[in-house]
């Protein structure tokens, strides 16, 4: 069943790292026939490029070097029917499989706190959502990218549960990481995301909170559809 095909809105899904925002946003987009945009993937893609081009050495981010690289970075999403979602490309190269490593995760917060990085990516995100009909997940979508989004969700979950989820995900991919290392990364990214000077993670005043610590995806979906109907009917 499809809902209100004619009246397309913007759905902003913000919140803490590793609380299932992308999985949830993707499911919402599939249900509504909307486009799903994972803005975290864009910050990760810039971080990967910076790692591969010497702008990050031994975990230290050289901000000027990252800014200098920005003009060479062209990001686009292409729909992958097998995944039912879009893959991210940098300068035509598929990087989807390389952006979720612990190395990228450890460097993405400092990269995403660089003003010029945010300006470039926010402008791209606004362009992608100009026709509406998008579900965009990130940290600043409801506050900065689309303050006029019709429906704003703020997702959260217990940090230990979030670390366990990411651990299972990485293990399944064959990554050899410890739960402690992941939990440390989750907690330090929360801290960095909330305290950075530019566009810190915060709940928009008109956002609805979803704590999914103990909720399944179908339960979250049921919760969401009730909110969606309130806004669109």
Interface residues with ligand DC (CB under 6 A) are 17, 39-40, 43-44, 108-109, 112, 138-140, 189, 193
Q: Which residue lies nearer to ligand DC by CB, 4 or 80?
A: 80
Q: Which residue lies nearer to ligand DC by CB, 26 or 44?
A: 44
CB of 158 to ligand DC, least distance (A): 16
CB of 7 to ligand DC, least distance (A): 25
Q: Which residues of 189-215 are buried (b: 16+ CB within 10 A; e: fewer)?
A: bbebbeebeebebebbeebbebebeeb
DSSP assignment of 99-160: TTSHHHHHHHHHHHT-HHHHHHHHHHHHHHTTT--EEEEESSIIIII-TT-SEEEEEE--HH
Backbone angles phi, psi at 82, to 5 degrees: -65, -40
CB of 13 to ligand DC, least distance (A): 10
Q: Which residue lies nearer to ligand DC by CB, 108 or 135?
A: 108
Q: Which residue lies nearer to ligand DC by CB, 4 or 195?
A: 195
CB of 230 to ligand DC, least distance (A): 25
């Amino acid at each position: 069943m499809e809902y209100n095909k004619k009246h397309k809105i913007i759905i902003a899904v913000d919140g803490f790292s590793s609380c299932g925002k992308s999985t949830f946003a993707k499911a919402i987009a599939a249900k509504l026939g909307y486009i799903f945009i994972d803005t975290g993937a864009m910050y990760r893609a810039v971080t990967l490029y910076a790692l591969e081009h010497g702008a990050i050495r031994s975990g230290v981010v050289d901000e000027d070097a990252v800014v200098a690289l920005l003009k060479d970075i062209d990001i686009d999403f292409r729909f992958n029917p097998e995944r039912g979602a879009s893959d991210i490309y940098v300068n035509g190269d598929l990087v989807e499989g390389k952006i979720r490593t612990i190395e990228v995760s450890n460097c993405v917060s400092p990269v995403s706190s660089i003003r010029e990085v945010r300006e470039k990516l926010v402008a791209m995100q606004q362009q992608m959502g100009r026709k509406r009909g998008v579900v965009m997940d990130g940290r600043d979508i409801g506050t900065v990218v689309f303050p006029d989004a019709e429906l704003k969700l703020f997702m959260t979950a217990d940090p230990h549960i979030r670390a366990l989820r990411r651990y299972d995900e990485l293990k399944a991919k064959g990554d050899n990481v410890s739960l402690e290392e992941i939990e440390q990364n989750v907690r330090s990214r929360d801290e960095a995301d909330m305290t950075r000077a530019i566009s810190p993670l915060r709940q928009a005043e008109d956002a609805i909170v979803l704590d999914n610590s103990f909720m399944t995806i179908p339960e979250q979906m049921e919760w969401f559809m009730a909110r969606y109907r309130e806004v669109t009917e």
